[in-house]
Each structure stands twice: as C-alpha cells, then as structure tokens.
Amino acid sequence: MTSVPAPNAAVTLTVGPDAAGQRLDKALASLAGEISRARLQQVIKEGGVSLNGAIARDGSRKVAEGDHVTLVMPAAKPAEPVGQDIPLDVVYEDEHLIVIDKPAGLVVHPAGGHEDGTLVNALIAHCGMSLSGIGGVRRPGIVHRLDKDTSGLLVVAKTDRAHQKLARQFADHGRTGPLQRAYLAIAWGAPRLREGTIDAPIERSTRNREKMAVVKEGRGREAITHIALIERYPPLRKGLDETEPLASLIECRLETGRTHQIRVHMSHIGHPLLGDRLYGSGFATKAARLPEEAQAALAALGRQALHAAILGFEHPASGETMLFESEPPEDFANLQAALAKL
C-alpha cells in the first residue's frame, strides 16, 4: 500500500515471507508504509484491524505468511485546539508541509497559560482540510519549536508521513543528512575566538524550574552549539588597540535542539543575549552603558535578541534538499543598526 486509505474504507493486505512471524502491528506498519506504527497500534485497539476475517485487538499477536490483514482507517477526529484567524507569514507550502516565518511573541503550541492564540491554532485555520490525521487527529505536526520570543523559520508537517520523516531528521540533528538550523544572536561582549563549539550538557535547573542549566558531564542531555563571530560592537578601528567590545553579532548553528539551548550556552560562556531577562539578568549595568539610541532599540526589542535565520532539510516526499533564509525582523535590525553606530 503506497497511500493512506480513504476514511472508513477497507483495505486488505497479504502477509508476505518478509513479514511472517512478526507482530501484527509491526507487520502492518511495513505493509502500510504511509501510516505510523503508533497510529496503527491505536487503530488496532479500536477494532479497525481484522486478521483472516476476525477483529484483532492485540497488536503483539504474530502473523504468518499468507495471512490476510484488513485495515479500516477511521476518519481523523477534529483537532482539540480550535482554528483561529491569526495572520501567518508563509514562506513555503505544499500538501506535505508548511514553512512559517514566526514573529516574536507567538507561542508555537497550546500549553498552560497559552490555551489559544498559538501557531497551532493559526495553522488549523490556515490549512483546513489539507491537514491529515496525525496520530488520528486532524492537526499540524510540530517537529521542532521556537521560544515564544524568538522569531524566524519553522517547518510543520501536514501529514503523518511527513511528520515521521521530518521528526527523524531533527532527531538526527543533521549528522547524516542536510538538516541545518542557524540563528542570529546579539550577545553581550564577544567570544575571543572567531569560531568555536560549545559542548555542554543541559538539564532543567533545580533552583528555578523556568530555566535550563549547564550541568557536569554524565548528567543532563547532550547539547552542542557551533558559534561564529560575525560583527563586533563597537567594531575594531584601524590604529586603535583592541578592547573588549560591548556586544557582538554571532551566528549559532545547532547540532542538537535542547530547550533554550542557545540562550543557556551563550550565558554559560559569559555572553548572554541582549534582552534575555531569564539568562542575562546580571547585565543591566552593561545596558546602562549603551548610548541613548541603542538603549531605546533594546527597550523596543523587549525580548532576547535571537532570530532563526536559516532552515534546511530534506523534503519528506521528494527527497529534495530545501533551504530557506529569513532576514531579521525590524526590532532586531533596529538594534543591530544602533549598535553599529557605537
């Protein structure tokens, strides 16, 4: 079977020698390649699968060569979050996925304190019936997230198949494929080296549950960020001794994708992001040293100076390498311009 069967339509598949002896759910997943195994396990429990004419609710049951497996896929349930007419900056869209340039201030997924008004609510309204039943629910497939106050590029799956394939790419972190994620960050001070790697595990802070923290090796989850210095503020000027810059523009490339990873790593090396109240609260004295124009631009930013500028991945259907770039939004660009005048 090469595509998801129509809702409530019965499709009968025959177990071949390669699947003989396997669990029913595993064999069915290999036969029905467009549907995730987790979704099929759910359908089996709901009575949507028959083995040789009898309903089979036990996914662990073994199948034999020549067995006939009949699958009836139920229609996807309506998404629990409701669709809301929220403007979206759509960079790319087809029947498999959608790439959004997310504005700062937009939460990606409904959660405590943000039950609506999220990107998911916007996507349900925007995509409508083009969303397939991911996990049995007609909803967008979130494979990675951006913090509420981080702007930039985000890819979202519209089908179960695309969700599976994109999720595998993000889990691999681009080590064996074309996935790449690069961010622009404005940080206090500047790293001594123009390029470097921050390899420091992260876990949730025991002191403040809103924060993540770098921990000793052997604890937490692996977290790796590659950084490159792009610009210093004030810039080096010919004939002047090199002094510690007040701030810098840095490109951060993720090799892993932990919560708040860039913000935590940059703070860990002594260069937290401008505007980051959670990880850079101790740098208020540096903010006071900024000229009036730069102080006004930082106040107008009102968030961490972080923008997801580059996103690349393999298209889950065509296999084509997709690459998208996003210019920083106005608030970020205004801060850049004010700092460049130092």
Helical pair 24-31 and 37-45, crossing angle rounded to 10 deg = 120
Bond preceding residue 272 cis, omega within 30 of 0:
no
The overall longest dimension of the chain from CA atoms, in Å, is: 86
Distances (CA, A) of 118 to 107, 115, 125, 189: 5, 8, 11, 34
What are the C-alpha distances in Å from 133 to residues 26, 77, 114, 166? 20, 7, 23, 16
Catalytic residue among 25, 67, 101, 147: 147
Nearest to 163 by CA among 139, 182, 146: 139
Distances (CA, A) of 264 to 167, 276, 280, 322: 24, 10, 10, 29
Element (H, E) at 163: helix 160-172
> ∠ CA 189-259-196 to the nearest 5 degrees?
40
Q: Which two tokens stand for residue 161?
A: 């198949």
Number of Cβ within a 10 Å radius of residue 98: 23
As a residue count, the chain comes to 342
Q: Which residues share a beta bridge with 155?
A: 99
| Contact between residue 339 and residue 294 where contact means Cβ atoms under 8 Å apart | yes
Q: Is 94 in the active site?
A: no
Annotated catalytic residues are 147
